[in-house]
Amino acid sequence: MLFALQAEYYPALALIPFAGMLLLRLFIIQHDCGHGSFFKSKAVNKWLGRSIGVLTLTPYDCWRRNHELHHASTGNLDARGHGDVDTLTLREYRAKGRLGRFGYRLYRHPLVLMGLGPAYLFLLQHRLPIGLMKAGWLYWISALATNAVTAAMLVALGLVFGAAVTAMVFLPVLITAASVGVWLFYVQHQFEDAHWDTRENWNYHESAISGSSYLHLPAVMNWFTGNIAIHHIHHLVSRIPFYRLPAALKAHPELAHYNRVTARDAVSTMWLALWDEDSRKLISFREAKRLTA
């Protein structure tokens, strides 16, 4: 794409979606390295994960720690805020003032979550060890070293192909991968029958399997996304590498119908925003208003 655009062959930009999906697959490999499941060697997992982080703009050690906390607290109402989409209960939402409600509604709007959110997360938030700034020097080194190597790579490409051409390729590809990745992550945990409990009632295994969906995707999408849509099994046993998740699902066919969400169903989940403690379901703002009336 860089060579084509340098020669002013702009139809090469049509490859952006394909390149973005390949970058997403690299992120899934980085993800499995973080779980120690891609290779047997801890060192190889660690350094491959760090290397891919230069391309995905994701500091490996920072992301790995936040993702560990996400797995350890999925579905726990008293441990929200680690690598997840901010979710309020219906009672918490009602207790907020007008400004607080407006801010939460703005944050949960699909255009913000799927549009501005991915760009902010990968271009800005990952530049610092947000959430881990007092957790030790390792996370600062992870963030700053990733920034430095990524910057060096982009400067080198800019010198060879030109800054404008480099930006025309790199930014759209990154945003494509980020947006699809955030959408996947959203649907994996934000669906009508998602499972949440307070700490005293929370159980790791129950929340892992009940608080994660099985997003049924076409085979080609499963390849690009590294089968991560089989998310309920992944959360139950995160050491299963992504290339073995289909075999795990085949070995336990009853899970093929558990928390199953189709691509069409996934569209409607974008309007779910509040956890209703009484019905134990995620509901939309419209449903919350009807319950209040």
Report H helices in 35-136: 42-56, 60-73, 90-95, 98-107, 110-111, 117-123
Question: CA separation (Å) from 185 to 39, 85, 96, 213, 219?
Answer: 23, 9, 27, 10, 18
Q: Do the beta carbons of residue 179 and residue 118 sit within 8 Å?
A: yes
Structure confidence at residue 8 (pLDDT): 92
Structure confidence at residue 293 (pLDDT): 62
Categorise residue 57: left if φ over 0, alpha if ψ from -120 to 50, beta otherwise.
left
User: In sequence order, which residues have a C-beta less than 8 Å from that of residue 177 and are 6 or more positions away?
Assistant: 20, 21, 23, 24, 27, 56
Average pLDDT, stretch 89-118? 94
User: In sequence order, which residues have a C-beta less than 8 Å from that of residue 39 and are 6 or more positions away?
Assistant: 33, 45, 48
User: Which of these ranges, 12-21, 64-73, 80-89, 106-115, has the smallest mean pLDDT?
Assistant: 80-89
Structure confidence at residue 154 (pLDDT): 97
Q: Which amino acid is at 60?
A: Y
CA 190, 197, 76 angle in degrees (round to 5)? 70
The pTM of this model reads 0.92
Return d(Cα 169, Cα 166) in angstroms, integer.
5
Structure confidence at residue 245 (pLDDT): 97
166: containing domain: 2-292
Q: State yes or no: pLDDT of 83 exceeds 80.
A: no
Backbone angles phi, psi at 284, to 5 degrees: -90, 170
Residue that the structure tokens 């069409």 belong to: 264
pLDDT per position as a tens digit, 222-252:
999 999 999 999 999 999 999 999 999 999 9
* 282 strand-pairing partners: 275
Question: CA separation (Å) from 50 to 28, 45, 81?
Answer: 13, 9, 24
Return d(Cα 140, Cα 130) in angstroms, integer.
10
The fraction of the chain above a pLDDT of 70, given in percent, is: 100
Structure confidence at residue 270 (pLDDT): 92
pLDDT per position as a tens digit, 142-192:
999 999 999 999 999 999 999 999 999 999 999 999 999 999 999 999 999
pLDDT per position as a tens digit, 11-62:
999 999 999 999 999 999 999 999 999 999 999 999 999 999 999 999 999 9
Q: State yes or no: pLDDT of 100 exceeds 70.
A: yes
Q: State yes or no: pLDDT of 263 exceeds 90.
A: no
Q: State yes or no: pLDDT of 264 exceeds 90.
A: no
CA 143, 118, 68 angle in degrees (round to 5)? 55
